[in-house]
Amino acid sequence: MDYVGRIYRPPSESTSLLLQVTVGCSHNRCTFCDMYRDKPFRAKPREQVERDLLEARALGPKFSRVFLCDGDALILSTTRLLEVLAQVRRELPWVERVGTYGDTRSVGKKSVAELSELADAGLGIVYHGVESGNDQVLAFIEKGGTRQHCVETAAKLREAGIVHSVIVLLGIGGTRWSEVHARDTASVLTAMDPPYVGALTTTVVPGTPLAAAEARGDFELPSKFGLVRELHTLVEGSELSACRFSSNHASNYLPVRAELPRDKPELLRILSAIIAEGDEGRLKPEWMRGL
């Protein structure tokens, strides 16, 4: 398989065939993100993608899922994506689901009819970094979309029958917007009502604009318990109809996995107790956080 640069995929795609159809991220401006800074965005040549699929076919039915890399492969034209999905079906007929990262831009550019076509061709899940439901925070981190765009993205994916897996970032509003970030993120999740939510913890990566903002004193990460309070506000404020909620990413101080709304009372009870105790021993030590 031909891979250009570092390859990222969601944790739940750890056993998937990683098929790189684009290099980098077409946005590449989020201030906290360093994933693709070294890679100018481009689509990979058709012939290369075809060669990769032939190579994967030679392995036999080893992978039941395919994940299209890099950052926002969904930004490719619908025609090109349909071509890739058809090739996956042809060469790897045993594949049950294709997934990709997407966002307000890539979904916003496509009609529900186009998204439905992609779903029929095998696209089953889109992972979307919403990060925050607060427009000030979204502007601060240069996310390039608004909370309203996030709500529209969720509605379109739902109508097209594509599973929407949402990622939000604890701490991304810093201490300045910590409370309003958590509240507005809870309310945007309610409006989006996705079946999967992953809450990750912001890491200030050296060399990023967020690190520069931190050095200037324009950004300060909330304390460990400040982050747990954000998690509490997020869970308390969101009304989700059927959601697998997790904060078990390596970056988090408090790993949580819950089915909402079923587990909400118990989860809030645990979070409240941890906040009230203020015992750092209940949180994951720094050295155990995989960043």
Strands across the sheet with 243-246, in order? 17-20, 65-69, 97-101, 123-131, 163-170, 196-201, 243-246, 257-260
Long-range contacts of 47-53 (CB under 8 A, 24+ apart): 48/2, 49/19, 49/20, 49/21, 49/84, 49/87, 50/87, 51/2, 52/1, 52/2, 52/19, 52/20, 53/19, 53/87, 53/88, 53/91, 53/92
Contact between 134 and 189 under an 8 Å Cβ cutoff? The reply is no
27 vs 183, which CB is nearer to ligand SF4?
27
170 vs 267, which CB is nearer to ligand SF4?
170
Q: Which of 21, 23, 31, 28 is nearest to 6 (CA)?
A: 23
Asked if residue 33 binds ligand SF4 (CB under 6 A), the reply is: yes
105 vs 284, which CB is nearer to ligand SF4?
105
Asked if residue 173 binds ligand SF4 (CB under 6 A), the reply is: no
Binding mask 111-150 for ligand SF4 (x = CB under 6 A): ------------------x---------------------
Asked if residue 184 binds ligand SF4 (CB under 6 A), the reply is: no
By CB under 6 A, which span of 27-35, 41-49, 146-154, 190-198 interacts with ligand SF4?
27-35
By CB under 6 A, which span of 22-30, 56-64, 120-128, 251-259 interacts with ligand SF4?
22-30
Q: Give the span between the Cα atoms of 290 and 12, in whole angstroms.
A: 16
Asked if residue 35 binds ligand SF4 (CB under 6 A), the reply is: yes
Asked if residue 171 binds ligand SF4 (CB under 6 A), the reply is: no
Asked if residue 71 binds ligand SF4 (CB under 6 A), the reply is: yes
Q: Which of 95, 96, 35 is nearest to 69 (CA)?
A: 35
Cross-strand pairs, 101:
127
Residue 180 class from Cβ within 10 Å (0-12 exposed, 13-18 middle, 19+ buried)?
Answer: middle
27 vs 164, which CB is nearer to ligand SF4?
27
By CB under 6 A, which span of 25-33, 115-123, 268-276, 283-291 interacts with ligand SF4?
25-33
Q: Which of 17, 27, 182, 246 binds ligand SF4 (CB under 6 A)?
A: 27
Asked if residue 193 binds ligand SF4 (CB under 6 A), the reply is: no
Site residues, ligand SF4 (CB under 6 A):
25, 27-30, 33, 35-36, 71, 103, 129
